[in-house]
Structure 1
């Protein structure tokens, strides 16, 4: 105990032994004044201490940084596309090619063929031969779409072709000595009506003899890499005119790339002056986008169909170009239906997969002071895929700024083949910061970290 404290204690003991003083006694009055001064001084000191504490505490809690809202954001569910179920057409062999969807590599198949079925060797092609005949004739006698070409005047030798092929049981169209028709007319009769007599007429006219025509055809086949095709006459009535399904698809592509052929094989019937129109032997023209090409039939080897189609697929910038062939079928009608089903199954392999809808709520972000907001997708996303092309998704989230309307919260990105889609995520309603009262009453939340 200090000396001052000891003196005070002694004074208190002495006073305790003294008789009570009169309150009006000058010493009593002086004592009361001393005590009042001490209380005032102590109060002032206390106020100064409290004020000093408040001046430090309030700025700390009112200006302290706060963490942004937190919460779980889920990835939206979507269904992965399934594999395409391609139809298998009837017949001994078939092949099909699809172009126009190269962004989906699976549509290219193997060696440019999406599907190959059955016998891979050479089979009789029947009247598909007339497509080759036309291509080789046009090499010697070019003709553009919509052009008539030179005039052919039929001779007695030409007229004999009618009897020749009629006796062979081939399809024929009438011929008369002195009859005149254009090159375009003759090609119509050969391709639309499948007239064998006009196939030999044109090929001989173009090259001067069948020998020179066949020599030119062999050279043409070799130049186009069609090494699995045998060609001995211009009509296809001889079963030695044979080819593989793969070669015939390649020949079909060359045909539709030739404007005058593409124009003629798409005709519902031939229109030749002086002759009664007859319908195209291809009875499925116009169905499932079919635009051609050529039917055929031999009793010993069955029906054949080389077909082309232009198919619109929602989501693709340009239509698909499809070329296919079916060999060794029961009849041209069953092959036609098989082609329609095949094309339809290819188109069905394209899926537009819905991924996320605008306004989808993917999570709730909240704060300790009970301000919250939903994370929402700002747009709708869907991707076109082919077959079971996988779709991958990546979600990124970013810290949300307090007080912002439509505050950025991240993105969702999708990839399917060469196609992508990205949708921003936002918190539409502002998540407000904490009020002053919450800050003052939650110092540990602000300063206790």
Structure 2
């Protein structure tokens, strides 16, 4: 009877021991799971906080316009860099007409770059034209019966000294008569959408040869696009058979990058210039075409052209959209690590006026990273043209470490 209580006591001790053992085992397993989760569970990815402008814009250009007539200016390679001022009515254009005459002659008798073209023989008829031009008070260059010039030389005689007699002789040579030329010229103008322009002669001496600033900008573009004409109008002088040395009436050639195109002057038209220039903006070159019509004097014309061109140049800006080492954002982790996103290269744009440069930053989420690791890119867009710079970490973004992981298993509570 005494053995029964002893057996009961031994069972109770055994149960207590099992409870203690399994309790410790449970605690151990929970602890192991906790530590395993803390050490090996992935940390939450960290997104970069971008710090940049969505657009970059410069001050609006303020062009210096003349206080007379009509004018316009453009940088053909830059959208939006075209402006006009003053009257939009048709105005007499005097010898600027000869730019159109040259284009229409070349439409019938085209020349390739480096080609002088066929020989044109001059007769007593051309001498008579010369004398008639002198009597009418027009600009002229000498011509000698029995001499000849190439087509290119005849164009030079017309365009540089602005010789009316060579304009008439060239038009007659190409089209048979001045009447046939005028008809062909007006058809050419219509077919090319220069509806504000009309000619009644190849030389522009009469007030019936008219145009607008807008049309003349387009005509100037066509003249510069022709490799023969663009070469001719940039010359300061030329020596021609039968005519000798002839100077360009555009005395601004070589001033402020001006390299063309054509002067004009009559009582009705005043003083006019269709001009072109290659202007320097920082390390860049910008092609500019402009026109000023109706200046009271040559001095007023030259001053107006130079002021307009200077203000056009000032309206362009070299913009460093990014510089190597420039920060575009920051990674900040829950465990207190930080690293800036910096650009690896400089990206420069030449922007006209307040044309906006669009800025877009792309990055990827990070848990950690090394210094210099590529983590994204920044893309700049201006008028459809883009440049891209890579973004890297400026310093390492470390793992949180043992103690932070133990205190924040799986990143919870970050």
Q: Residue 90 of structure 1 contacts residue 335 of structure 1 at CA under 8 Å; is this kept in 2?
A: no
TM-score by length of 2: 0.79
Query: Per the alignment, do residues 396 and 186 of structure 1 end up closer, same or farther by CA in structure 2, a change over 3 Å counting?
Result: closer
8 Å CA contact retained: 2:340, 2:393 = yes
Counterparts of 2:20 and 2:368, CA distance in 1: 39
Q: Cα–Cα, structure 1 residues 148 and 373, in superposed 2: closer, same or farther, change >3 Å?
A: same
Q: Does 1:365 align with 2:365?
A: no
Deviation of the 1:135 alpha carbon: 2.9
Give the drift of 1:356. Answer: 3.9
Among candidates 121, 138, 145, match of residue 177 of structure 1: 145
Higher RCO (Cα < 8 Å, 6 or more apart): 2
- Aligned residue among 289, 295, 298 for 1:329: 295
Q: 1:279 aligns with which of 243, 247, 256?
A: 247
In structure 2, distance between residues paired with 1:279 and 1:373: 69
Report the alpha carbon displacement of residue 150 of structure 1 after superposing the two structures with TM.
1.5
**Of 157, 162, 178, which aligns to 1:194?**
162
1:208 and 1:69 map into 2 onto residues whose CA distance is 81
| Residues 192 and 43 of structure 1, relative CA distance in 2, 3 Å threshold | same
Does 2:27 align with 1:53?
A: yes
Deviation at 1:166, TM superposition (A): 2.2
Superposed, 1:187-336 pairs within 5 Å as: 187-273=155-241, 275-310=243-278, 321-336=287-302
- Paired with 2:375 and 2:97, the residues of 1 have a C-alpha distance of 64
Match of 1:21 in 2: none
- The answer (yes or no) to whether the contact 2:369–2:393 under 8 Å persists in 1 is no
SS in 1 for 2:277: strand
Per-residue displacement from partner, 1:156-215 (whole Å, max 9, x unpaired)? x32233332223322222233333333332221111111122222222333343333333
The verdict on how the C-alpha distance between 1:365 and 1:443 changes in structure 2, with shifts beyond 3 A counting, is closer
| Equivalent position SS for 1:359 | coil
- The CA deviation at 1:310 is 4.5
- Name the CA distance, whole Å, in 2 between partners of 1:443 and 1:244: 76
Is 1:151 the equivalent of 2:120? Answer: yes
Query: What is the aligned partner in structure 2 of residue 96 from structure 1?
Result: 73
| 1:45-103 C-alpha deviation (Å, 9 max, x unpaired) | 868855653453144224323644869835135853222223324540113344223xx
CA RMSD of aligned residues (A): 3.9
- 1:125 matched to 2:102? The reply is no
* Preserved CA contact (<8 Å) 1:151 1:181: yes
Does the 8 A contact of 1:81 with 1:389 survive in 2?
yes
Kept after mapping to 2: 8 A contact 1:375/1:425: no
Are the equivalent residues in 2 in contact too, given 1:382–1:421 (CA < 8 A)? yes
Q: Quick check: 1:147–1:184 contact (8 Å CA) kept in 2? A: yes
More strand by share: 2
CA contact (8 A) 1:95 1:245 kept: yes
Distance 1:437 1:223 in 2: 81
Secondary structure at 1:137's aligned position in 2?
A: helix
Q: Which runs of 5+ in 2 are unaligned?
A: none
Deviation for aligned residue 1:280: 0.9
Residue of structure 2 in register with 1:73 after alignment: 49
Higher CA-based Rg? 1
- 1:61–1:443 Cα contact (<8 Å) kept: no
Count of residue correspondences:
402
Q: Give the CA deviation at 1:233.
A: 2.4
**How many Å separate the matches in 1 of 2:412 and 2:118?**
94
Distance 1:136 1:423 in 2: 48
Query: Quick check: 1:356–1:377 contact (8 Å CA) kept in 2?
Result: no
Answer whether contact 1:200 1:235 (CA < 8 A) is retained. Answer: yes
Compute the displacement of 1:367 (Å): 4.4
Is residue 305–residue 332 contact of structure 1 (8 Å, CA) maintained in 2? no
How far apart in 1 are the matches of 2:343 and 2:74? 40
